[in-house]
Amino acid sequence: MNAAQWVAAFGAEIGQEAPDPAKIDEILKLAGIAAHASERIAAPIACYMAGVTGRPIGELIAAADQI
């Protein structure tokens, strides 16, 4: 199973549509900022925090760039 298949299956399991490729790129950008500015563990935690805020990912990327 590749990443896209896993994400789609996880989305189906939790009742959430998988993000489109553009959204995935934004999520990975946020994760990359967090991982490279700190420890790698910051990436999944930052993405979780971003997800629960409901704020636009571009706004959250800008916030991460400020840190």
Q: Name the residue with tokens 């967090």.
A: 34
Model pTM score:
0.86
Angstrom distance (rounded) from CA 26 to CA 58: 7
* Cβ proximity of 5 and 13 under 8 Å: no
**Token output for 36:** 């490279």
pLDDT per position as a tens digit, 32-52: 999 999 999 999 999 999 999
Q: Give residue 63's pLDDT.
A: 95
CA-derived radius of gyration, the chain: 12
Per-domain residue ranges of the chain: 19-66
Sequence letter at residue 23: K
Which pLDDT band, with edges at 50, 70 and 90, does 9 fall under? very high
Give percent above pLDDT 90 in the chain. Answer: 99
